Structure formats: structure tokens, C-alpha cells
Structure 1
């Protein structure tokens, strides 16, 4: 073959090998997070319960204008180094586990009645493994994203958090993260596989199929799990808050209570728009990159 463009991606063995899947997942994860990072930064700031009026944003446009004019465009990229360091290994584990479990459960057998269960279970298993690795990097990222963050280095942020709050600060949100990402991933992978099969039943190479399927899957999963993401953000940024109640929130139950008491039902939708706008293109890009890199690595 003369180039990757001629490869019939879906003609490859569904389980192309653990090493191929992990490398493709790592490259896809880095690509996804780096491209969409500024929107993720806005989402984080909109979810934080700020005490200063200067840190309260009414929408994506308002946040973008104010942050770029008062702090500079670079502020929207603060914390990206932590994501890049964590996203590669975490996505490698994620996609490697996903493909391995899906194959083991018979999810790669076309027309199998077990396909929905296999893809959901594979996605859930992949999430448990990858989140254990990614959670500390996500804490560092969000500490660097908040308004008036003093951290400019991921390493310095990690040192400070560990010294002042201990190791538990990196994992206080892990149960909430799992509660959010297990259903997120199960929904995402299931929707992706079903839409991909519907749009491209012949299995021929079709980047458009990966983009549309990935984008819709990300939008649905992101919207459904936004309330849990608000709770996760509260827990991961609690150390930066001057509010005593938030600072000493010990878990998901405390986070939900604070959100409900402070903002009612609408509080659980904080950051919904930027979250969906982040996951729709980033998920589309992630799946497109994953399928591309998997095929490219497989045939080199």
C-alpha cells in the first residue's frame, strides 16, 4: 500500500494487539485534550463556586473575553502540561483495557446479541483503570485552571498540594470521578459503536463515520454526567477555596449538599454548555485519531 489513506481500517482484525491499541490510545488522548484545553479551562472556572465577583462567569463568550483581556490568552492553556503528561499513559491503559475486555466478552463478533453488554462492560473496566492513573493529573490541572491560580508549573503544584494537603488530596475526588466516568464511558462507547455500525455497516474506511459517531457519543455522555462533573470540580479545587465549608468537603455527599444548598437544581448544570462543546469535538477527534493511529501503527 502506498499510504495510510488507502487502508481499510475496519478490515483490520478488531483486536489489533494490546501494544497497538495502547499506543493509538495514548496518541489520541494527547491530541484530544491538547486541542480542546481552552474550552475545558472555561468549563472549570464556570463550575467553581467563587467568592469573588471577578471569578463569576455568565457564559462561554463572557468567560473567554474576560479571561483573555485580564489575564491573557496563555491563562486558558494553564495546566495543559499536566494533562499531556497524564493523558498519554491514561488513554493507553484506557483503550488497551477496552479492546482487551471487549474481545474477551465477544463484543467484536458482528451481530452478537452480547455486543451492547460487552462494549458497556469494556468501557467501564477501561475507565476504572485509567482514572486511577489520571486522577492526580486532573487535580493538578484544575488547580492551575482556577481564577488567580498561583501555579505556573505542574511539578510545583503537585509538590504544594502534597505538602499542604497530603496524598489524599489527589484522590478525594476519585470515587466521584468513577461514579461519573463509568457511566460516561459506558454510554460513550455504546453510543459510538452503535452509531458507527448504523452509519457504516459495510465496515469500509470512513473518517466521517468516526467523527460523527464520536461527536454524538461525546455530547450525549457529557450532558448526562454534568452534575457529577460539577461535584468532582468542587472536590478537586477545594484546596484553593477560601470558603471553609467547601475547603473541608470530604466526598461526593458533601459536594452534592453544598451544590444543592448554594445553587439548587441549576447548580448541577454548571458548565453544561462548555462541557458538551468540549466533548463533542474532542470525542470526535479522539475516535478519529484512535482509529487512524491504530491502523497506521498496525500497518507500518
Structure 2
């Protein structure tokens, strides 16, 4: 008999990919409106200027969005610059739905799905197969396996998606045609080598790998304990939801300093984009030198921020420990439900495919 919390019926890699793809899609549908409202509230306090950037997250991935021009007299202005006087989150939900239609709450969903779905498919499929190859059995206290499998799976996913993220950001920031984009990538590789396509890979790995290791360690532990308590071989949707939310919260809190650093680096990229626009407009003139000085004043740490740990130390010394844990509440509020929805959908679809495989096996046995 199978151990509680562990089933012997396998699902195919294609079914794993379908389960993770469905989970990513449903997570994006639930979480995207929250981030749309957050960004609109932020833009209300301080409107985004061309060349500046904001962070956009569908619950699965963070995206750097560089702001484009928006004609104030046009009805086709970017969604993040639409007018509105909101008195809070709930009021923003009501007003956006009433005045702009429900679809506005899912603005920006298609481009993020293009990134999030393949990354999630690679990540979850790699984790499950690595965990199985390493011989993980729930209840045997071999919890080094989820740590190693989760870390490797995250590195694979980040490595696979980094060039796509760079390409997407370039297309957003400059509205390049595919031919221009191809030339831009070719010149970037010629001047900086293939590694130029992986800018930002280091800080992303430093944030996401510890998160993945902590998340899967705690998730496997909580899932097994719940299965033991309720005497079931595999978790229900409620169990997966609870285990995912708890594990996501723990991982989000402990890895927040790395998330702060990643945010600083993404904002720095947006500021460099602004400097580039200034350079193109002014050339090597006094105006450009003034622009450069202004940018360096706004980012007084930027010229020295080559090392993640040096930047962490500098933030600690300037503003104390709270600087490395800025935005704790919003991060937990966003990450916990996203992790819960993703893993419960993923486990739910895997259970569906297992039952389907078992049924097919039984029918085949009866036919023979």
C-alpha cells in the first residue's frame, strides 16, 4: 500500500505541463486585478513619466514595464495612465469596473502570460521530475531533496526565461519592430557576448532560488503533515491551498531583502533608460552632463551597486534593518494567495490526471 501523502500512479510530463499551465493561467486571472489597482493607485499619487518604470506582477513573476508616451487627449492612452481619483483599493475596484469596464482590471494580462506560462511550466515540471529522480518519499524526512530540486528547477526556469524578459523589456521601452529587435540583439551579443542576454540573472537567482528552496521544503512538510492528520494519500484542494499559502508566506518574509535589492536594480534599469533618452536628445552637451548628475543624485548608490551584498550592506547602514524589509505587507499579501492558488490548481489538475490514468489502466485491464 502507498504511504499516506504519496501516490504510485504517475502522470506524464505532458500532463504535468498542462497542470502547471492551467495553474499559471488561473493564478494570473485572480492576481492581476490586484496589481492593476495597486499600480493605478501609485500613478495617482505620482504620475509615471516617459522612460520611468514600474514593477508589474501577475503573482508568478515580476516584470519591469518602461512607461511609454500617452497622449492626454487620446482615448487610447496606456492603461496605467488612465485618469481617476480613487479613495482606496475597494473604491478603485468599483470605479474602474463601473467607468472602464471589468476588462480593465485585467489590463496587461496577455503580455505577462506570454512570460509567466512558459516559466511556470518549466519550473514546476522540472521540480516534479527532479524530485522523483532524486527518490523523494514523503515522511522519510529526506527534505534536502525539495531544497535541491526546487533550487535547480528555479535556476533552469530563470535561465530559460531571462533572454525573453530582456527582449520583452526592449520591445516595450522602444517599440522596436522585429527586424530592429533582431539587430539590437545581434549587436548586443557582438559587443557583450552571449552573457549580455542574461543581465539581471544574478540578482534574480539570489532572490528566487532561496525562495524556491524554502517554499518547497515547507510545502512538502506541511502537505505531508496534513495528509497524515486527515488520513489521505494525496492532499485536497483546501490542504494544498493552506500549505501553499503558509509556505509562500514564510519564504516571502525570509527572502524579502533579496526582493528589495532586485527592485532597486530594476528601477535602476528604468533610470538608465531615462538617461539614454536624455543622451539621445542632448548629445554630449552640458544638458546631458546635468541630466547625468541628476540621475546619479537620485541613485546615489548606483555607481557602486555592482555587488548585491555590498548594496544590502549599504542600505542597512543608511536606513537600518527596516530598509531590507520594506514592503513586507504588500509582498506577503501578493505572494501568499498567488502561491496558494498556483499550487492548489497544480495539485488539483495532477489529481485529475492521476484518476484519469487509473481509470484508463483499469479499463485496459478489464478489456484484456
Scaled to the shorter chain, the TM-score interval is: 0.7 to 0.9
Q: TM (normalized to structure 2)?
A: 0.60
Question: For residues 106 and 311 of structure 2, what CA distance do their matches in structure 1 show?
Answer: 27
| Aligned partner (choices 236, 255, 260) of residue 206 of structure 1 | 236
Kindly indicate whether the alpha-carbon contact (under 8 Å) linking 1:180 and 1:225 is maintained by their aligned counterparts in 2: yes
Answer yes or no: is 1:232 the counterpart of 2:262.
Answer: yes
Question: For residues 307 and 170 of structure 2, what CA distance do their matches in structure 1 show?
Answer: 17
After TM superposition, list the pairs within 5 Å mapping 1:164-179 onto structure 2. Answer: 171-179=198-206
After TM superposition, list the pairs within 5 Å mapping 1:112-261 onto structure 2. Answer: 112-114=140-142, 116-135=143-162, 171-201=198-228, 202-204=232-234, 206-241=236-271, 243-244=295-296, 245=299, 249-250=305-306, 252-253=308-309, 255-256=311-312, 259-260=315-316
Shift of 1:282: 0.9
| Aligned partner (choices 127, 132, 138) of residue 98 of structure 1 | 127
Question: For residues 109 and 151 of structure 2, what CA distance do their matches in structure 1 show?
Answer: 26
Question: For residues 152 and 199 of structure 2, what CA distance do their matches in structure 1 show?
Answer: 20
Answer yes or no: is 1:277 the counterpart of 2:349.
Answer: no
| Aligned partner (choices 22, 31, 39) of residue 17 of structure 2 | 22
Counterpart of 1:3? Answer: none
| Aligned partner (choices 42, 46, 52) of residue 54 of structure 1 | 46
2:46 aligns to what SS in structure 1? helix
Counterpart of 1:147? Answer: none
The runs of 5 or more residues in structure 2 that have no matched partner are 49-85, 190-194, 275-294, 358-368
> Structure 1 pair 181/122, CA: closer, same or farther in 2 (3 Å)?
same
Question: For residues 214 and 188 of structure 2, what CA distance do their matches in structure 1 show?
Answer: 34
Question: For residues 255 and 139 of structure 1, what CA distance do their matches in structure 2 show?
Answer: 23
The runs of 5 or more residues in structure 1 that have no matched partner are 1-8, 145-149
Kindly indicate whether the alpha-carbon contact (under 8 Å) linking 1:172 and 1:251 is maintained by their aligned counterparts in 2: no
Question: For residues 108 and 132 of structure 2, what CA distance do their matches in structure 1 show?
Answer: 36
Once the two structures are superposed, what CA deviation does each residue of 1:40-61 show, in whole Å capped at 9, x if it has no partner?
5688899x9x9xx7279xxxx9
Please identify the structure whose Cα radius of gyration is greater. Answer: 2
Counterpart of 1:13? Answer: 8
1:208 aligns to what SS in structure 2? helix
Shift of 1:267: 1.9
> Structure 1 pair 195/10, CA: closer, same or farther in 2 (3 Å)?
closer
> Structure 1 pair 257/111, CA: closer, same or farther in 2 (3 Å)?
closer
Answer yes or no: is 1:81 the counterpart of 2:100.
Answer: no
Shift of 1:174: 1.3
Kindly indicate whether the alpha-carbon contact (under 8 Å) linking 2:237 and 2:345 is maintained by their aligned counterparts in 1: no
Question: For residues 106 and 151 of structure 1, what CA distance do their matches in structure 2 show?
Answer: 45
Question: For residues 140 and 273 of structure 1, what CA distance do their matches in structure 2 show?
Answer: 31
Shift of 1:250: 4.1
- Aligned-residue Cα RMSD (Å) equals 4.3
Answer yes or no: is 1:36 the counterpart of 2:31.
Answer: yes
Question: For residues 145 and 265 of structure 2, what CA distance do their matches in structure 1 show?
Answer: 32
Question: For residues 177 and 38 of structure 2, what CA distance do their matches in structure 1 show?
Answer: 23
Kindly indicate whether the alpha-carbon contact (under 8 Å) linking 2:158 and 2:204 is maintained by their aligned counterparts in 1: yes
Counterpart of 1:291? Answer: 347
Kindly indicate whether the alpha-carbon contact (under 8 Å) linking 2:154 and 2:209 is maintained by their aligned counterparts in 1: yes
Question: For residues 152 and 38 of structure 1, what CA distance do their matches in structure 2 show?
Answer: 26
Once the two structures are superposed, what CA deviation does each residue of 1:85-142 show, in whole Å capped at 9, x if it has no partner?
11111111111111111111111x243242x011111111110011123345666889
> Structure 1 pair 270/63, CA: closer, same or farther in 2 (3 Å)?
farther
